[in-house]
Amino acid sequence: MRKTLLMTALTAQVLGCANNAPAEEAWTLNTIADARSGIATPVDLGPPGDSPGDMFVFDQPLLNEAKENIGSNSGYCVRTLPGQFSECQWTLTMADGTITVAGREAETGTSLIPIVGGTGAYEGASGVLTTTPNGDRTFTQVLTLLKPKR
């Protein structure tokens, strides 16, 4: 009985602490990564052709929905499964701060990449970036951000 009461009290205390945490504010940011210009360099490190360990390094313009330049989209991908997947990390740099993402990106179709952090206006941000190729060497990136309220 005493053990049950102790566990009940601890559970209530933990839940109470969680309820006192600042709420997170969710919002979206729509961007376009423009791979038609800037740096887009494949690095063939393994056997010739698409193979595990090959890299792709990029630093490209970042556009808003009106296709105006708002910063840069730069990072790298390491091929993990030829023709299908790469493990990537990149940073979206804008005048008011940066957002860094990292995760598995598919060669085709839409990928969901975790947001791992930010600086400036995006400090403390988390969430997910949904990236979809547009077929013209641009990528629509929808960031669903969770930013702690301060």
- The structural domains of the chain, ordered by start, are 22-148 (2.40.480.10)
Contact 91, 102 (CB under 8 A): no
**Section 36-52 average pLDDT:** 93
Write down the pTM of the prediction: 0.81
Q: Which residue is listed with tokens 């602490």?
A: 17
Give the whole-angstrom CA distance, residue 121 versus residue 97.
Answer: 6
Q: What is the pLDDT of residue 8?
A: 31
Position 46 confidence tier, pLDDT thresholds 50, 70, 90: confident
Q: How many CB atoms lie within 10 A of CB 39?
A: 11
Residue by residue, DSSP assigns 45-78 as -SSSSS-TT-EEEEEEEEE-TT--EEEEEEEEEE
Q: pLDDT tens digit string along 96-136?
A: 999 999 999 999 999 999 999 999 999 999 999 999 999 99
Residues 6 or more apart whose CB falls under 8 angstroms from that of 104 comprise 80, 85, 86, 87, 88, 111, 113
